[in-house]
Structure 1
Amino acid sequence: MKALLSIDYTYDFVATDGALTTGAPGQAIEKALVGVTKDFIANGDYVVFAIDRHDAEDAFHPENKLFPPHNLAGTKGRELYGELATVYQKNQTEKNVYWIDKRHYSAFSGTDLDIRLRERKITDLYLTGVCTDICVLHTAIDAYNLGYRIFVVEDAVQSFDPIGHEWALKHFQVTLGGELVSFGKGE
């Protein structure tokens, strides 16, 4: 069984004026990311929107020392970007669509993601979203450590750091045994 993880494709991470934006590279993957998400939903596969959620008043969160405020609860910055927002709104009540608020880079850290995947006997995880070398990477590492097979949809991931993006793609393959796959319809 397989599942798609859609990681942090939000206004703050993708829009030109987002607080911590990938900018044009992140915007360029929208078509592929939306396409693979629609396909997984239509096929009845499990689709998880794992979305960063921060609190402006949280003085203890370590990211506050590393990055500007982003994906703050109740702000436009935390909303899904572009057409992905419409896809989620149209399908959010489907049994195979699930939203996770995450506080750390990995979608597994402090969430019930592993339990939900195991309940559904899911073994294969397809990863999409941003940033390839931060949240997608940390999610992939946890998935590897938990015994999942990892597939990274190469045309549906991106970063604000081109060198980090390329390094992470290689790391997925060489160190985590993951496969790079392409949606192919995004071009």
Structure 2
Amino acid sequence: MKKALLVIDYTYDFVAEDGALTCGQPGIDLEDYITNLTKDFLHDGNLVIMPNDIHEENDPFHPESKLFPPHNIKGTTGRNLYGKLHTLYEERKEEILWMDKTRYSAFAGTPLEIQLRARGINELHLVGVCTDICILHTAIDAYNKGFKLVIHEKGVASFDPAGHDWALRHFEHTLGAAIVR
């Protein structure tokens, strides 16, 4: 079975203590796990995709503008990957597929499904932030498109602990995802 790792929104704005929409310490605590998992996937010759949020400054038409403070603005350091993952990406970017996304789901308005189908990938491993927003919406779309899901519990976090816990249960019990604990 061919598989891919999706590292979703593990950016400075979502993770760093002073990020614009940070999940703070829970996100920071993922750094080693996500970086090592990314190395493992690359070592084994699997596809690694980094779908990352991108916004235009002062965009009054984007639905998130009414819900969240400005974040992951195009051309800012807030869009850089966080910590060791940023360094790994810079060293190995020719092996990693970066993908801009403008909605919660990495499938919405992106070529993600085309890239996966072209490579015969049918198993997706999800890590990143936020568990109950972008990870959740990506997982639901993946489920509806027939992909097998694997969620790495030590690789996801949120700024909402109750939402995080709910999403983990939803992945397992409603979407049939395997949870790596």
State TM-score, norm by structure 2: 0.98
* Aligned residue in 2 for 1:101: 100
CA deviation after TM superposition for structure 1 residue 93, in Å? 1.1
Share of identical aligned residues, percent?
A: 58
Distance 1:148 1:166 in 2: 22
* Aligned residue in 1 for 2:137: 138
* Aligned residue in 2 for 1:81: 82
CA deviation after TM superposition for structure 1 residue 129, in Å? 0.1
* Aligned residue in 2 for 1:12: 13
What pairs with 1:121-136 in structure 2 (closer than 5 Å)?
121-136=120-135
Query: Structure 1: which amino acid aligns with 2:64?
Result: E
CA deviation after TM superposition for structure 1 residue 42, in Å? 1.1
* Aligned residue in 1 for 2:68: 67
Q: Deviations over 1:132-163 (max 9, x none)?
A: 00000000000000000000011010000000
Q: Does 1:152 align with 2:151?
A: yes
* Aligned residue in 2 for 1:25: 26
State TM-score, norm by structure 1: 0.95
Q: Which structure 1 residue ranges, 5 or more long, are not aligned?
A: 183-187
* Aligned residue in 1 for 2:168: 169
2:49 is paired with a residue of what secondary structure?
A: strand
CA deviation after TM superposition for structure 1 residue 119, in Å? 0.5
Matched residue pairs, number?
Answer: 180
Q: Deviations over 1:53-85 (max 9, x none)?
A: 000142100000000000000111111000000
1:92 is paired with a residue of what secondary structure?
A: helix
Query: Structure 2: which amino acid aligns with 1:120?
Result: R
Query: Structure 1: which amino acid aligns with 2:82?
Result: Y
1:118 is paired with a residue of what secondary structure?
A: helix
Query: Structure 1: which amino acid aligns with 2:149?
Result: I
* Aligned residue in 2 for 1:185: none
Distance 1:57 1:151 in 2: 36
- Runs of 4 or more consecutive aligned structure 1 residues displaced over 6 Å after TM superposition: none
Query: Structure 2: which amino acid aligns with 1:127?
Result: L
Q: Does 1:120 align with 2:119?
A: yes
Query: Structure 2: which amino acid aligns with 1:115?
Result: I
